[in-house]
Each structure stands twice: as structure tokens, then as C-alpha cells.
Structure 1
Amino acid sequence: MSFPSPPPARCLALLPLALALAGPMLSVGTAHAQAAPAVTPSSSHRYDIPAGPLNVVLARVAAVSGVLLAAAPAQVEGRSSPGVQGTFAPAAALDRALAGTGLSARADAWGQFRLIEGSGAAVARLSAITVIGTGSATGLPPAYAGGQVAQGGRLGMLGDRDNLDTAFSVTQYTAQRIEETQAQAIGDILMDDPSVRNTYARGAGRDEFNIRGFQLYNYDVSFNGLYGITPRNASSLIGVERVEVLRGPSALLNGMAPYGSLGGAINLVPKRAGPTPLNRLTLSYIGKSQVGAHADIGRRFGENQAWGVRVNALGQNGDMVVKGGRERLGALALGVDYQGERARMAVDVNYQDRVTHARSGLLLTPESGIGIPPAPDARHTFFPDWTYWDAKDASGTVRGEFDLTPDWTLYAAAGTRRHDFKSLQTTFLMLDDAGGIGTNPSALNESLTSVTGEVGLRGRFRTGPLQHEPVLSVSGLGVDYHARRVRTTTVFSDLYDPVAIARPDIRISGPLPLATENRLRSVALADTISFADGRVQLTAGLRHQHVEVSSFDAASGDRTSRYAESAVTPAVALVLRPTDRLSFYGNFIQGLNQGATAPSTATNAGEVFPPEVSRQREVGIKYDAGRVAATLSAFEITRPSSYLQPSSLRFVVDGRQRNRGLELLVQGEPLPGVRLLGGAAYTDARLVRTAGGLNDGNQAPAVSRLQFNASAEWDTPFLEGLTLTARVLRTGRQYVDVANTQSIPGWTRVDIGARYAFDAGGTPMVVRATIENVLNKTYWQSAAREGLTVGAPITALLSVSAEF
């Protein structure tokens, strides 16, 4: 529960008119606006609005389309509307709603309309106006019931789509959910997703995810639709409005992920200034003594509030809950946007400086056949307190759109990022089943520069009964990676009783040598064909992808390997909507992925393998009951299998991994003040066509058969503003090695929390408290990345937010 910012004085005089115009619908729309910004006003949406009073119908059109509609109460009083049925652009939907009323809607600015008498160009003189709808200059799909997730989101090159019109399994987590859960990084918000598991626990300074049984790295997360922009290790969420998750391969929609992530796609949507001025300050406390301050300021200005500025700044420092662990984080996110009648543009600048000491990291597993001992006490790390990661990331992007005609839009985006990293680290190897471990302490310095861009054309036309929405996209990404690593001799310790390892004297000086060059280029063409009033939607397309990767010798600078591969990969997706609340979907998508790269822990570290072809087949059902929505899907994904051999520590590609699964996702607010989010995922991950058939039929490592998530919130009736929260996570057993001789047990985690929203002398405030892992369970969290990670111990999170 949160309070809106106090409205400007000039808006207070319009309140009686607003209530008279929109009646009960305005109160619903206004609450919706506080939960999330509106849908893109230039996109088409499906309407199921029956005939009724004109003010009610117009309010519902505005809520679905995301437009702002100005009108005088006298214009709509006593008039009726025939309603709106079907899929239309906002202007066409308003025309349907106003049919027979003697009124028409004139576009004043992008996403803004004004009612005028008749169909002429003259504007009615309005002595007073009010605004219908949930729109704002941010241009995003509205939040679903409860405000935790959205009704739709970006579907790559296809643009914004309503979830029921999307032939993939998708979820868009809102800024409201980010704030309410006190999420610090992407992994914190994805704990609500039953198809996703985090490789690392809180405090690792790094985000990696397992989606549908396949790894997705933080550096394969896109920012506002562009790859190569997000920080390499972990992304602060201070400047993020939405975290959009698409499960399964998405090569046609998004292009090739820079480092070959396959299980899904994650896109970060930046914050934009809304129509109401925002001044928010949040103070936070985590673990032992980690305190932070986050300022969020937003303004719109200019004619029709066409210009917007949103600034977020964060400072955070202190000891983490794990003994010896501490982190310092400074982050800045600046977003400037322009929303004109035919042109839209946005510029984003992000900077992040994160230093993590005694970070939770990977523990490499022993040879097959050696048992995996119980996890150590998570409160006492076995990593020396002198280990650290020091990462600085700076990026800038620009994205623009221009409407050539009402039906054709030209868009372009470009961005660049600089990553600088220094570290002193230990990656331990488990030597036996009694807790003996060893490591070669190392220093690693790296720098990375990426440049990315996309140009496209999106349109709409008809051929007889068929509505076409073609899209053409051309994209490119270049990444230059420089690195130098220095190792010392082997030292030994104990998992349960760590020894005091002396800090090694390792220094890296001079310029860093070029390690790899990546060049990705692609051209994609797709068309969504719909008919029967939008109840049948077929999307088909092709993407030509070209991958060029070169590796270089650190000493001589000579090129040691190079490959350049191209492929044309298809995709077909179908949506059937027999009713307005039910949709059936299916997709087949094939992608060319950059080949795996041997990790730094391998004896062949840095070796880049040839590109891989992956395939997905998926069918599903989506149902939206109005307050609760559910998605049930079945899928099969195949791709080459790669892993680190425990005996030789050599990274190899061997056979294929075939994941078949079922997913159930549930979201919404079934009762007033009761919000639910979660579901279950069953995944059967098998190895097939392995060398000599040795591991055929074995379970793939790091994939649990069953995952279950349930998150609930309850606005208590006995104290207004008080909300109680709870979350349960269940992850089944995971195999560690491809021979299936090693495994880690399943685990269950319980989180509880509360928040209290109140008004303090005219200042809206929210106090939040969460206890993660309230039972303080000790467990191995993941067996991904050919290593083990330990789950975080009981952790308290506190924050207080105020809006001035």
C-alpha cells in the first residue's frame, strides 16, 4: 500500500468536476495510475466495453489505452455510448466510443486527446476540464490488479503487447513490487518467479539466474531493449520501473544474447517522470550495519508536459549479515524524455560503483563419486575477508520514435557502456566429502567496452479481412574485452573451520591486454497477421544472425582463434482468443547463440566454442478473470550441453540438453486487500546424444524437477495502512555432476514482513520490514556454473520512505 504524491494546487479545483465526469470509474483509474504508468498510447489494444453512460465508457477506454482525455462535464452529461468491442488503436477506440454522440476526440499531443463538438477542427471552448484515464508520459502498460505485475510489456521488436495477446510466457514486475519487497538487485525481485532461481545469494555482488533450467547471466540482461548496457555483475534497481521476464528462447524478438544465455530474456525498463511532481527519500537498513539513502525525483515541464526528467541516486555502505562481508554501493540513474505529438525520445545515463568484500562465491565440486557434504553455516563465510570485487559501470543510451504516418513508425536506439573491474579473489575447490577445500588466490583486472544499436520500422495495414503489423529491425553489438589474471600457489582450508589465509602480495600493473572481440549483427523481419476481430493472431518471422568472435594471446597480442558464423533462424507464434478473457497460444522459435566460453576456473579458461543452435516448442493457456490471471504452459527446449569436468577442470561441450516442463503462474488480487503472486514449475532436464552414450538419459546438473513459489499480502482491516506479507520458496533436489553421482538436497525458505503506510503531518510515509529466511535454514542454494553456492542466512531488511 502506498500514498500518491499530493496533487498540485491547480489540480484541486478540478476534483469535483473529475468526480462528476468519471463517477466510480475515476476512482478505479486513479488508483491504477498510482500503481503503474499507462500503456503506450500509439499501440493497439483489445477492448470489451459494453454500451453505457458515456463518461463510464470513456473512462474505461482511457484505462485500457493509456491516453489522457480532457473534457468538460457538460459534454458527457446525459449521453450514452455504444461501447467498444475489438482491437483498435486509441484514436479508433475513441471514435467507436463516441459514435452517435455528436462528439469527436482531437489529438492535442502524443497520448492526449480533447473532446470537441462535431467532427470539425475547431476546439470547444472549455472553461474547466478534467482528465480521464490512467495515462502519463511514461507510456507503459498499466499494472494488473494488485499492482505487483503489469498487464503487458515489451515483446522485443514487436513492441508493447497485452499479455493475453502474447504467444509466450511473460511477467512484468512493477516498481511498486520492487519498492514493497525492498529489492536491491534483479535476483531479489525474481524470487517471486517459480520458473527462475538465483545462482547466488544476497551479498554475492553478482546476479545470475536459472530460467527453465538454463543459465542467464546479468550481462545478458537488456536495458530498454538494448543488449550490452547493463552492469556486468549486478544491476541496482533504483532507476528501474519494470523488470520484464520472457521465459524461453527469444532470438527473433530480441536478437542474440551477447554471451549465449538461452533460458529466457530479462529486460529492464527505466523510470520516467510522471505527470505529478515526485520527491521521494528512502532510508534503508540491511543485515548487521548496512545503511543506505535513496533519492527519487521526477518532474515534467514544457508545453503539454512534453519534457520529463527523472533522477535517482543511491548511497549504501556497511557490514552484511555474513561475518566479514561488507559492501559499498553508489549508483546514479538519470532519465530525460520528450513526448511529442509525432516524436518520442528518451536519454538514459547510468553509473554504478560497487565494492564487495568477502563475497559469497562458487565452491567448485570434487570428482564424480565423491559425496557432497552438508552446507556450512551461512553466517560464517569460508572466503577470506581480504577478498574483494571492485566494479565500476557507466552507460548511456538514447531511443527515439517518429510517426511517419498514423500507421507507420520509425524507431532507433543506440547505447554504449564502460566496465572497469579489479579484484582479489579465491575460488575454492572441494577436495573431499569431509570439508577439505583448496584454492589458488588470484587477482583479476578487466575492462570492457560495448557499443550497440538498433534501427527499425513498425507499421500497420490491411489486406481484405487481414490486419498486418509488419516490423523490420536491424541491430548490431560490438564488445571489446581486456583482462589480466595473476595466480599464486595453492593454499588449503576447511569448509566448516576456515583457516586464516594470509593475503597474497599480487599486483597487476600496466595496460590490460585484449582478450576477446565480439561482433554480433542481425536483420529481422516479422509480421503479425490478425483477423476475426483480433481473435486469431499469427506472428511469423526470420532473423539473419551473424556472429564473429576472436580470442587473443595475452602475452603477444596475437589472434589465437576466430570464427564467423551466420544463420537464418525462424519463429512462428499463434494466439487464439475464443473469449476476451481466455487465450490459447503456441510458439516455435529457433535461435543461433554464441558458443559457450570456458570459465576462469577451467584449465582452458577463455576458450570460446562455436555458435550453437537452440530450439523451443511451447503451448499454453492464459486466463484473466479480471482480478486474478493465470498462465499454464508446456515447453521443450534443446541446446548443446557444456560443463566443467571435475577431474581435469577442463570445460567441454558434449551432447545436448533437452528440457521439458510445465509451468503454472498466478497473479492478482482475488479479494480487496489480498494479493497473490507465484506458481509452480516442473522441469525434466535430460542429457541426450552424449559422447558414447555415457550420460544419455541422466538429469542435467543444477536443474530441480519441482519449484514452487507463493507470495501473499493482506491489508489488515483492524489498522488502516498496515499490510502483512509472507513468501514461501521451495526448490527440489539438484544433481551436481553429469554422471548423477552427486546431488544437493531440496530446500524450503520462508520470508515474512509488514509495512505501514501513514500520513505524518501532510507527508505520506511508508515503513517496511522484512525477514528473509526467517527459520535461518542452512542449505546449498544452487549447483549451477559447475559449483555450489550457499543460501543466505536469516536477514532483516528495514526501510522508511517519505514523499515531500
Structure 2
Amino acid sequence: MASNQTTVLQRPAPLLLAVLALFAAQARSQSNDLPSVTVTGRSPESVAGVGGFGDIPLSRLPLQATVVSSERLADSGTRTLADITRFDASLGDAYNSEGYWSNFTIRGFAIDNRYNYRRDGLPINAETSIGLENKSRIEVLKGTSGIQAGTSAPGGLVNLVVKRPEGAMRSVGFGWRQHNTFGAWADIGQRFGENDAFGLRVNAAHEELDPHTRQLEGRRSLLAAAGDWRVNQDTQVEAEVEWSRQTQPSVPGMSLLGNSLPDASRFDPRTNMNNQPWSQPVVLEGTTASLRLQQRLSESWRAVAHYGSQQLGSDDRLAFAYGCSAEGNFDRYCSDGTYDLYDYRSDNERRRTHALDLALQGKVKTAGIEHDLGANVLFTRFKARFRPQAFNRSFALSDFPGDPPSGVGNVNGTLITRPAPEMDDPSTNRDERSTELYLRDAIALTPRWNAWIGLRHTRLERRSVLTDGTEPTDYAQSVTTPWLALSHAFTPELMGYASWGRGVESEVVPNRDRYTNQGQALPALKSRQFEFGIKGSGTPLAWSVTAFEIERPRYANVGSDCFDDTLGDTCTRQPDGHQRHRGLEAEAEVKLGALALQAGTMLLDAKNRGVTSNLAIDSKRPVNVPRRTLKVNATYRVDALPGLSATAGLVHEGERMVLQDNSVSIPGWTRLDAGVRYEHRVASRLLTWRLGVDNLTDKRAWKESPLQFDHVYLYPLQPRTWRISLQADL
């Protein structure tokens, strides 16, 4: 499509720099008449509820977690959950397709959107687009999450913390991002009533989406409100609700061309292979609400009742590129750049989650030993309802002589095919119920030694059935996940620790004729982690070094005809080896005058071990897991121009395997980001300008190589992207 953008929109940097220079000159001239003031102090220590131990600072907890504040999200131009991978070396991409929900890895393991997400501590389903405008921070726990989740994939857990009423505030803003995306947002809060007993905070946002990728226009909206009532000094009631909707086409990834890895430097990252005339947008809509009652029982004890409800609706649609039947390869595209093209549509998907957490927390002292105790019971109900879907490929010739047969596309996105929208492929409805009892105890053995104990017992009930009523499964399972740690404070600012914990996943064999054990519940996948770390906290330097090992069992389909039900009873789903990730993480945050620097690196040795069903992948690296990552974010305050600061970011990720036998890999890459922030006052209003550019050098590379649906995909780095925004605090 031809662009009618003006020169100003195409090149925003010179215009903004001129405006910034004008404001800076004005501020500098004013500052000559004012005495300089230097403020020193220590910033409050980060707290992460995802750690499971209340308000104990992260610097004192025997675990690793990352906290990303809303201000940091705004300064970096972060729009989606997938964008937070730039902040921590242990986070990576995992099938992040524009227009779809976010997927990423922690310590090399892809986390599960169904089980590895929390919202203010309550479980939610992340198979949707999650807006960030009403989130005060994002917390990421690194490591097995059995102490915080009944079932979840190993690697970590994500907790979204909602903005709550804080006082009088009026903040509005708007922004622009290449190619031509415009957005506006508002954050309004107020306390009122006698003694400010009531509080209300409202967040609203809207974006008209037009990214670099061609023909991928869409829109996104969010509206959220949070309120509280301070009944008295011991009782507080909090309620919040959020509605969001995103409608935008998604894009399939690139893949191998036969046995060849395509050259990323010659691939146009703006290419859209979902540009058929019949392509429809993915629609992701959700409403989430919660109610929380906090009651202080005494100086040392309190009770909390927290209920949450989430209702998601989606229309999942894509001109889906998958395999090459012409060459007998179903995990990659054809050598000539064509591929099998499917009309995929799954309309009116419905997912509902309800959760109630009852907690009792307090401190006791027995035999001279202090205990910080927590006892909870969590009830969760989940229901997913679908309709028959379309997943069709028609080989009938089109009505126009010389046109390609429907069902064939190419990597240039130039072959036009006919739709095949018949909804005749069954989907799977699911019901889940779980009850989780969990205990935590932080024990102060001596002034320097602390023991940490966690134990969670989970009772699961899961059922599924196809939408045509066939292939039902029904099973129940009980699992227990312990967690233990010991920490020692060498000094008030230096702590070492060792921990051991388990995580668990539950799986049932599909009720398909090919399986000898169809419909049976498999033994729980019990992963385990050892972690050793040392943390230094203080001013001006905070740092940590962590060594870990995570081992996760594998299941595999063993036998013949494991993709075909024709013969029946030819394949068995069974345990087959394990995946072991050994790693070393190092992080540091330092403030030296006007310079603030945050840096992290991870070295990861990930291997498949003990695999007997496919010896070609035994002792090989898992796909899409780099051996090394380095991420640096720096901010420099320009004292000569009050209110002006410059930011820079560096992301380096090493080589990733593309095929499970490690015969093909994509090289490592390095991306540079940069930005400036300028604050100044006009009358009583604080204005904040932000100018940023992602991928400053316009690096071309394959960003990730996920194996999704047993198919190899390649996603490119986004091209150089400018962004600009203005925020007014009234």
C-alpha cells in the first residue's frame, strides 16, 4: 500500500530534537538564576509478591526475580509482554508473532500461557492480549515455580500487578510509532470521603495499529478501574475491573526452505504471508475483575480473602503456512519458497477462570526462633468452550486459468488462493478444577541464618471432549511440590543462599486410536531445581550471581504411525529421558553520579539426556535456546540540561538451534536501542517527552527459531523503529 505520510511523520527525530533543544535552552536560562540542590538517599528496595513471602525485599529472599516498573515500561516503549525480554538475560522469545498473544522463555524453558501467569497473585489465562497501561509493575520469578503454582512449566512465573488508588493524579499522553501507529492514554486517580476513606483510579488507552509489517492494520483498546475502601485502620476492601480488546491480523513465521536456512539479511521483515484477500484479523477480548478483603487480626496477624474472575473471548484466524507436501516435509517449507497454505479459523473461543484464595499470614516466636508464616487455600475453576474450527486446504484449481491451486503460498506473500472456511474440524472443550493447600515459613534461626520452607499440595480434576462429543478424557491427580532454602547474611548487605524445589506438570494421553494407552493420565512430570546464589545490595552497587540446574522429564510418542489413526494401537505415549538446563546468571545495578547502569548475562548449558526414542537428539541442545545472552540498559542524566536524560540498551543473544538434531542453527545477533527523555513544566503541568529508536543499526537477523506444532519457524528482528510520545501530568 502506498503511504501518504508527511515528511514530519516519516522523520520525527529532527523535529523532536529541535523542540527539546528549545525547551532545554529555556530551562538552562531559568536555571542560571536558581541555586543548585543536591538530593542524596537510597531508593526503596524492590519487593516482588511473586516470590511468595509478602513484603520481604528481594535482596533478602533466597531466589531470583525481576521487577519492571510502569515508568521503565514507558521509557522503553514496551507495548506487549514479549517486549520485557529486553530487561533480563534469562528471558527470551518463544513464537512471538505480531498480532497474537505473547510467548517467551525463562531460563530456556517456554512458559505455559495457561498455568504460568498470575494477576495480583491469582491465576489467570494469558492466551490473550494483555494491556500494560493499568499495570504498576511486572514481576518475573526465575526458576521452578512449584511453591507458587500447583501445576506450571518450569523456568519461572509472571505476575501482573494492577495499579491501585494512590491519591490525586491526572495523567494523559499520546504517542506515535513507525510505521504509522497512533495511541492515546489516560491515568486518573482520586481519594475522597472522610479521611480519604475511598479511592478510585481509572486507566484508559486506545491505539490505531499500523506496524512495519505490511497490511497488518488493527486497533487496541483498554478500560480499567480500581477502587478501595478503608473501612477502618484494620479493614480494607479493594475491587478492580479491566476490559480490553485487540483486533489485528497475525503473521506466520518464515521457515527452512528444504534443507537450506534462508539468509536473514536478504529477507524483508515487513513481509506479510497472511495477506490473502480472505484473511481475517485475530480478535482478542477479555474482562477481568477481582475483589479483595484484607483484615488485620492483631499486630502480627492478618487474613486475606481474594477472588478473581476472568472471561476471555477470541477469534483465532490465520492463512496458516505449514509444511511442504510436495517434497514430503511437514516441518518446513519447500525448497522453492512455496508452502502448504491452510485456511485456519476458530471463532467464538471462550475461556473462563475463577479463583478464590483464602490466606492467613503472621509472625510467631517459639523457643527463641521467629517464624514468618503463611497458610493458604486456593480454589480454581477453568472452563474452555470452542466451536468446530476450519483447518482446510483445497487443491481444486481456481476459477481463473493460470492461477496457482488453492492451498499453496510462497514466502514473498504473492500467491493468491481461494478460501476454504468450512467449519468441520472438531476442537477440544476442557474443564479443570483444582484445590491447592500451601504453607510457607521464613524461619530466623539466628540473626544471620534463615531457613525457608514451602509446601504445596494440589488436587486436580480435568476433563476434555471434542466438540462433536467424541474422544472424552477424565482424570484426577494429586501432587505435592516442596521447596527448601537456607540463607546466610555475611553482612547486612551481603547474603548467600542455597535452595531446592520441585515443579509439576500434568498430562493425559490423547484419546486417539493410534495410542495403546489412549485417554490415560500419565505420571506427573516432576521437574526439580537446585540454585546457589549470592546477593549484594547497597549504594551505589547492587549485584547477584546465581548458579542453577533445572531438570525436567520428557514424554515422547514411541512406536510407528504416531501421526495416523488408521491402523490403531501402534504408538505409546511414555517417559523418554529428560531436559537439563545448567546455567550461570550475573546481574548488576550501579549508580555513579549521573549514570545509572543495569546489566545482566546468562550462560546456559541446555541438553536433552537419556532420549531413547530418537538417538539423533540425545545429548543435543533444545531448539530456540541460546547458550549466552547479555542485556545492558543505561541511563545518563544530562546535568547541563536539567530534565534531559539519555538512554541506551544493548541486547545480545547467541546461536540458537533450529533442528532438534542440531544440524541447522541460526547465528547470534546484537541489537542496539536508544532514546531520550525530557521533562519540563509549563505552568503547573509536568510534560514528559520521550523519543526512542529500537534496532538503531537496522540489524537483520533471525531473532528466534521456535518449534511450534512440530514445525520449524523463524522470526526476524523488527526493522529500525522510531517512536515518540508526550505525557502531561496535570
TM over 0.5: yes
Correspondence for 1:504 among 397, 415, 419: 419
Q: Which residue of 2 aligns with 1:374?
A: 263
State the Cα distance separating 1:302 from its structure 2 match: 2.8
Q: For 1:452 and 1:153, how far apart are their aligned partners in 2?
A: 21
1:635-674 aligned at under 5 Å gives the runs: 635-641=548-554, 654-668=576-590, 670-674=591-595
State the Cα distance separating 1:649 from its structure 2 match: 6.8
Tell me: CA distance 1:362–1:477, structure 2 relative to 1, closer, same or farther (3 Å): farther
Q: For 1:426 and 1:575, how far apart are their aligned partners in 2?
A: 53
* Residues 155, 161 of structure 1: 8 Å contact kept: no
* Residues 156, 225 of structure 1: 8 Å contact kept: no
Q: Which residue of 1 aligns with 2:183?
A: 292
Structure 1 residues 135-183: Cα deviation after superposition (integer angstroms, max 9, x where no partner) = xxxxxxx4x5xxxxxx222145432221121110112111211121121
* Residues 231, 419 of structure 1: 8 Å contact kept: no
Aligned residues: 646
* Residues 256, 594 of structure 1: 8 Å contact kept: no
Q: Which residue of 1 aligns with 2:319?
A: 426
The answer to whether 1:732 aligns with 2:645 is: no
Tell me: CA distance 1:279–1:451, structure 2 relative to 1, closer, same or farther (3 Å): same
Tell me: CA distance 1:746–1:644, structure 2 relative to 1, closer, same or farther (3 Å): farther
1:270-309 aligned at under 5 Å gives the runs: 270-275=162-167, 277-309=168-200
Q: Which residue of 2 aligns with 1:91?
A: none
1:99-248 aligned at under 5 Å gives the runs: 142=44, 151-200=46-95, 203-219=98-114, 220-228=116-124, 231-248=126-143
Q: Which residue of 1 aligns with 2:399?
A: none
What is the CA RMSD across the aligned residues, in angstroms? 2.9
The answer to whether 1:485 aligns with 2:389 is: yes
Correspondence for 1:473 among 373, 376, 385: 376
Tell me: CA distance 1:282–1:205, structure 2 relative to 1, closer, same or farther (3 Å): farther
Q: Which residue of 2 aligns with 1:689?
A: 610
Q: Which residue of 2 aligns with 1:793?
A: 719
Structure 1 residues 700-733: Cα deviation after superposition (integer angstroms, max 9, x where no partner) = 1111100110111111133211111111111111
State the Cα distance separating 1:267 from its structure 2 match: 0.5
Correspondence for 1:568 among 472, 480, 484: 480
State the Cα distance separating 1:352 from its structure 2 match: 0.7
Q: Which residue of 2 aligns with 1:66?
A: none
The alignment partner of 1:563 has SS state of strand
Correspondence for 1:590 among 491, 502, 505: 502
* Residues 199, 209 of structure 1: 8 Å contact kept: yes
The alignment partner of 1:159 has SS state of coil
Q: Which runs of 5+ in 1 are unaligned?
A: 1-23, 33-141, 145-150
The answer to whether 1:264 aligns with 2:156 is: yes
State the Cα distance separating 1:782 from its structure 2 match: 1.4
Q: Which residue of 1 aligns with 2:527?
A: 614
Q: Which residue of 2 aligns with 1:774?
A: 696
Q: Which residue of 1 aligns with 2:23?
A: none
* Residues 97, 252 of structure 2: 8 Å contact kept: no
Q: Which residue of 2 aligns with 1:516?
A: 430
State the Cα distance separating 1:471 from its structure 2 match: 1.3
Tell me: CA distance 1:617–1:285, structure 2 relative to 1, closer, same or farther (3 Å): same
The alignment partner of 2:274 has SS state of coil
State the Cα distance separating 1:781 from its structure 2 match: 1.6
* Residues 150, 457 of structure 2: 8 Å contact kept: no
Identity of aligned residues (%): 24
Q: Which runs of 5+ in 2 are unaligned?
A: 1-36, 323-331, 395-406, 565-570
Q: Which residue of 2 aligns with 1:543?
A: 456
The alignment partner of 1:440 has SS state of strand
Q: For 2:647 and 2:418, how far apart are their aligned partners in 1?
A: 43
Structure 1 residues 28-52: Cα deviation after superposition (integer angstroms, max 9, x where no partner) = 57x96xxxxxxxxxxxxxxxxxxxx
Q: Which residue of 1 aligns with 2:240?
A: 348
Q: For 1:576 and 1:704, how far apart are their aligned partners in 2?
A: 33
Instruction: Give the counterpart letter for 2:600 in structure 1.
Output: G
State the Cα distance separating 1:431 from its structure 2 match: 2.3
The answer to whether 1:708 aligns with 2:630 is: yes
State the Cα distance separating 1:570 from its structure 2 match: 1.3
The answer to whether 1:626 aligns with 2:512 is: no
State the Cα distance separating 1:748 from its structure 2 match: 1.2
Structure 1 residues 671-699: Cα deviation after superposition (integer angstroms, max 9, x where no partner) = 23212122100111110121257132111
State the Cα distance separating 1:595 from its structure 2 match: 3.1
The alignment partner of 1:251 has SS state of coil
Q: Which residue of 1 aligns with 2:302?
A: 409
Correspondence for 1:747 among 669, 675, 678: 669
Structure 1 residues 47-100: Cα deviation after superposition (integer angstroms, max 9, x where no partner) = xxxxxxxxxxxxxxxxxxxxxxxxxxxxxxxxxxxxxxxxxxxxxxxxxxxxxx
Q: For 2:318 and 2:508, how far apart are their aligned partners in 1?
A: 23
The answer to whether 1:453 aligns with 2:356 is: yes
Q: Which residue of 2 aligns with 1:699?
A: 621
* Residues 582, 621 of structure 1: 8 Å contact kept: yes
Q: For 1:608 and 1:708, how far apart are their aligned partners in 2?
A: 43
Farther-moved stretch of structure 1 (348-357 vs 156-165): 156-165
The alignment partner of 2:71 has SS state of helix
Correspondence for 1:579 among 491, 495, 498: 491
Q: Which residue of 1 aligns with 2:30?
A: none
State the Cα distance separating 1:635 from its structure 2 match: 0.4
Q: For 1:265 and 1:433, how far apart are their aligned partners in 2?
A: 40
The alignment partner of 1:161 has SS state of coil
Q: Which residue of 2 aligns with 1:784?
A: 706
* Residues 480, 514 of structure 1: 8 Å contact kept: no
Q: Which residue of 2 aligns with 1:86?
A: none
Structure 1 residues 289-314: Cα deviation after superposition (integer angstroms, max 9, x where no partner) = 21111000011223332322111001
Q: For 2:540 and 2:515, how far apart are their aligned partners in 1?
A: 54
State the Cα distance separating 1:554 from its structure 2 match: 1.7
The TM-score with structure 1 as length reference comes to 0.76
Instruction: Give the counterpart letter for 1:506 in structure 2.
Output: P
Q: For 2:680 and 2:158, how far apart are their aligned partners in 1?
A: 34
Structure 1 residues 470-520: Cα deviation after superposition (integer angstroms, max 9, x where no partner) = 21111121111112311221522222x22232351526599x976111222
Q: For 2:427 and 2:608, how far apart are their aligned partners in 1?
A: 38
Q: Which residue of 2 aligns with 1:330?
A: 221
Q: For 1:200 and 1:752, how far apart are their aligned partners in 2?
A: 25
* Residues 208, 216 of structure 1: 8 Å contact kept: yes
Tell me: CA distance 1:663–1:770, structure 2 relative to 1, closer, same or farther (3 Å): same
Instruction: Give the counterpart letter for 1:796 in structure 2.
Output: W
* Residues 200, 791 of structure 1: 8 Å contact kept: no
Q: For 2:707 and 2:243, how far apart are their aligned partners in 1?
A: 28
* Residues 664, 679 of structure 1: 8 Å contact kept: yes
Structure 1 residues 727-775: Cα deviation after superposition (integer angstroms, max 9, x where no partner) = 1111111112322122222111111111111112331101111111122
Q: For 2:432 and 2:260, how far apart are their aligned partners in 1?
A: 39
Q: Which residue of 2 aligns with 1:50?
A: none
Q: For 1:665 and 1:352, how far apart are their aligned partners in 2?
A: 35
State the Cα distance separating 1:424 from its structure 2 match: 2.2
Farther-moved stretch of structure 1 (236-245 vs 426-435): 426-435
* Residues 638, 656 of structure 1: 8 Å contact kept: yes
The alignment partner of 1:330 has SS state of strand
* Residues 581, 604 of structure 2: 8 Å contact kept: yes
State the Cα distance separating 1:657 from its structure 2 match: 0.5
Q: For 2:113 and 2:254, how far apart are their aligned partners in 1?
A: 20
The TM-score with structure 2 as length reference comes to 0.83
Structure 1 residues 242-285: Cα deviation after superposition (integer angstroms, max 9, x where no partner) = 11111011211x1225xx3321011011111223x111011011
Q: Which residue of 2 aligns with 1:320?
A: 211
Q: For 1:780 and 1:700, how far apart are their aligned partners in 2?
A: 17
Q: Which residue of 1 aligns with 2:149?
A: 255
Correspondence for 1:494 among 410, 434, 441: 410
Farther-moved stretch of structure 1 (614-623 vs 624-633): 624-633
* Residues 373, 435 of structure 1: 8 Å contact kept: no
* Residues 211, 263 of structure 1: 8 Å contact kept: yes
Tell me: CA distance 1:528–1:597, structure 2 relative to 1, closer, same or farther (3 Å): farther
State the Cα distance separating 1:597 from its structure 2 match: 9.4
* Residues 364, 427 of structure 1: 8 Å contact kept: no
